[in-house]
Structure 1
């Protein structure tokens, strides 16, 4: 028998020839009518149009309701009460509690927020369930609801307990008189602690502004000795001569 005789070659139509094989690529979007579209320009154009509408609307809101401005910042004004933006109000409120403020500020500023946000970051690793319904994932759902409730409650408490009237007074832009800081009355005010509550420019802080009071020197002296409102009695510790100089100085302060 000669070599090659009696041998037959059979081809299988299910196996594509090398020249007919196609790379493993997804089908074209046109094969899914109504479900997909071209990224350029169809999809991108829609995104730009939506973004333009929101941008124009945002600009209109900023023009109609401009951000409120306060007076020039005074780093020496110890009576100023700062207020963070709304998304940090819950942390601001947390620092008001005794267990998270004062000597325990580190607990309120770092430890408690660190544990809370760390728990949220670890939630996917703690609860590895494949369920998608929240009721079937009690650990992750419970942690998220607890965090959300804490943020909402602390934010609400911060807004409800903040002294908004005082905040409006301390941040109000006023054009007061030019204070002569070399005047004897101003020096007496600075040495008796008046600037801590009324500001370096005497324009108000924790206490009211000291110009345009409409009071006579005798009335101002009465308040300095016996107090009024939130001002306790006995704040002024100077002599009668110093009090007279101070009250005459304050009574003469008039805004422009």
Structure 2
């Protein structure tokens, strides 16, 4: 006969007290009741996370991340653009009340108040109700945050010049520019040129790669003096001799005459 734990008296008989299985309670009993974290809740979270992970991997394979040319710290005309999840903060800094002398308002104060309100929402509205209409404070804060982020992100995407961004980040063939040449030194003294074509002469926010077109010296001089397309003329600051030296340098694809290549008039120096 069994003795000890696991027995209980039922009348004059001794029966084994079979332990009941630990069956998690139904989640529908909420509020006031809950479900087991393991395995019910965690298993569902893993399943949802797996679906999003697989979808994200498929997206990265179907649409690879766009690559740009190597960053140039001397390119003052380059207009950076943050990743999509920071576009709403980027757009906020474009408004007068949050830019310039008031940048700290757009970069620290407003985001701090917004994210602080979301963090404090559980303490501001501590009710147990899960229905949105029963939690007006928390629901209002979340709706305001979602609408603001969507609107600012849309405004940033709509206002951005995507054609100029594609042009300024276009990967071009490496060109060995002779930085010791006189023409390069003259170019570095022209702020208007650097502002559009970049410090490396390979293109910037408003201008293309200087070497992508096969112009001779006379054509380059004419373009610099008269302009072409959206490029205005009369921006060069220097003497006629410096202009000719710069034009020869550009026509010779970044090389000083005598270093090989085309001399700008269709003749090979070597």
Report deviation, 1:146: 1.3
> Residue 4 of structure 1 corresponds to which residue in structure 2?
none
Report deviation, 1:157: 0.6
Matches within 5 A, 1:181-192: 181-192=179-190
Report deviation, 1:85: 1.0
Report deviation, 1:47: 8.0
> Residue 137 of structure 1 corresponds to which residue in structure 2?
135
The 3-state SS of whatever aligns with 2:130 is coil
The change in CA–CA distance for 1:126 and 1:44 in structure 2 (over 3 A counts) is: closer
The change in CA–CA distance for 1:52 and 1:135 in structure 2 (over 3 A counts) is: closer
Structure 1 unaligned spans of 5+:
1-16
CA RMSD of aligned residues (A): 3.6
* Contact 2:74 2:200 (8 Å CA) reproduced: no
Paired residue for 2:85, among 84, 87, 111? 87
User: How many residues are matched?
Assistant: 232
Mapped to 2, the partners of 1:90 and 1:48 lie a distance apart of 30
The 3-state SS of whatever aligns with 1:68 is coil
Q: Which moved more, 1:193-202 or 1:70-79?
A: 193-202
> Residue 116 of structure 1 corresponds to which residue in structure 2?
114
> Residue 211 of structure 2 corresponds to which residue in structure 1?
211
Give deviations 1:133-192, integer Å, cap 9, x for gaps.
Answer: 322332222221111111000000111111111111111111142100111111110011
Question: Which structure: larger Rg?
Answer: 1
Structure 2 unaligned spans of 5+:
9-18, 29-34, 255-260, 262-270
Mapped to 1, the partners of 2:44 and 2:112 lie a distance apart of 40
Give deviations 1:176-223, integer Å, cap 9, x for gaps.
Answer: 421001111111100112233212321101211100223333332233
Mapped to 2, the partners of 1:77 and 1:239 lie a distance apart of 25
Q: Which moved more, 1:144-153 or 1:63-72?
A: 63-72
> Residue 249 of structure 1 corresponds to which residue in structure 2?
249
Report deviation, 1:19: 8.6
Q: Which moved more, 1:101-110 or 1:138-147?
A: 138-147
Paired residue for 1:29, among 22, 35, 47? 22
The 3-state SS of whatever aligns with 1:247 is helix
Greater relative contact order (Cα < 8 A, sep 6+): 1
More strand by share: 2
> Residue 16 of structure 2 corresponds to which residue in structure 1?
none
The 3-state SS of whatever aligns with 2:244 is helix
> Residue 168 of structure 1 corresponds to which residue in structure 2?
166
Mapped to 1, the partners of 2:123 and 2:46 lie a distance apart of 37
1:238 aligns with 2:231: no
The 3-state SS of whatever aligns with 2:70 is coil
Mapped to 2, the partners of 1:51 and 1:125 lie a distance apart of 28
TM-score (normalizing by structure 1): 0.76
